[in-house]
Amino acid sequence: MVRLGVRRLLDDTFEIEEATNGRDALQMLTDFGEFDVAIIDVGRGAAHEPDAPQGTAAIRALRKASPGLGIVAHGPQPERHTAAEAMKAGASAYVAKSSPAEALTEAVDAAAEAETYVDPAADNGSRKGGSLTRRQQQILQMIADGNSTSAAAKRLGLSAETVRSHTKAVLARLGARDRAHAVAIALRGSLIE
């Protein structure tokens, strides 16, 4: 069910291949070559295949096999310690399954751009007023420059819905009430010009 939801969320933007476990994911890297991003379920057990790497073991194996691969750890809950374990194992991003769909999109975008992302729910607000991904900065700069959502989408080659998702993530990350408040926070923090 989770894989179907992830596929539906990302299918319009990315070409998707699925593997049932870490061993199969490693085999796909060998058979098909490089991928931009791998989403690894860090909460699923594998009693039926105990020798297949799962969770953080799969992250470590994929990182070793493909150092440039963006890895998104998809965890059961927005827990800081689970996110920290996944990042220590080599994940580029962490997002909880209980988080809004925009959080997964944000995590995948960050991992594809070789940036880090920690689900704000798991991050317990430590990023509030802090860093933004490169894409978030681009979009917020365009908002600050007076561009509408559709104009920003057109200039960046994204859908308007993707720009709206990034904008919502910026508001959450900065703790802003609205777009104008986000611009003010980002200007004060020198996150945009």
Query: pLDDT tens digit string along 51-102?
Result: 545 788 989 998 998 888 999 999 888 777 888 888 899 999 999 888 888 8
Q: In the chain, pLDDT over 90 holds for what percent of residues?
A: 23
Mean of all residue pLDDT scores within the chain: 82
**pLDDT of 143 above 90:** yes
Residue 73, amino acid: A
Give the pLDDT score at 152.
94
The pLDDT value recorded for residue 101 is 84
Looking at residue 127, its pLDDT comes to 42
Sign of CA dihedral 51, 55, 57, 58: positive
Checking if the pLDDT of 37 tops 60, the result is yes
Read off the pLDDT of residues 114-142 as tens digits, 9 standing for 90 and up. 888 888 777 544 444 456 888 888 999 99
Cα 16 from Cα 68, distance rounded (Å): 18
SS3 180: helix
Q: What is the average per-residue pLDDT within 169-184? A: 87
What domains are there in the chain, each with its CATH number? Answer: 2-123 (3.40.50.2300), 134-188 (1.10.10.10)
**pLDDT score, position 53:** 58
Residue 137: Cβ-neighbour burial (10 angstroms; 0-12, 13-18, 19+): middle
- The pLDDT, as a whole number, for residue 10 is 80
Given this model, what pLDDT does residue 1 score?
61
- For the chain, what's the residue count? 193
CA distance readout (Å), 36 to 39, 74, 133: 10, 16, 17
Question: Does 46 score more than 50 pLDDT?
Answer: no
Q: Is the pLDDT of residue 50 over 60?
A: no
> What pTM value is reported for the model?
0.58
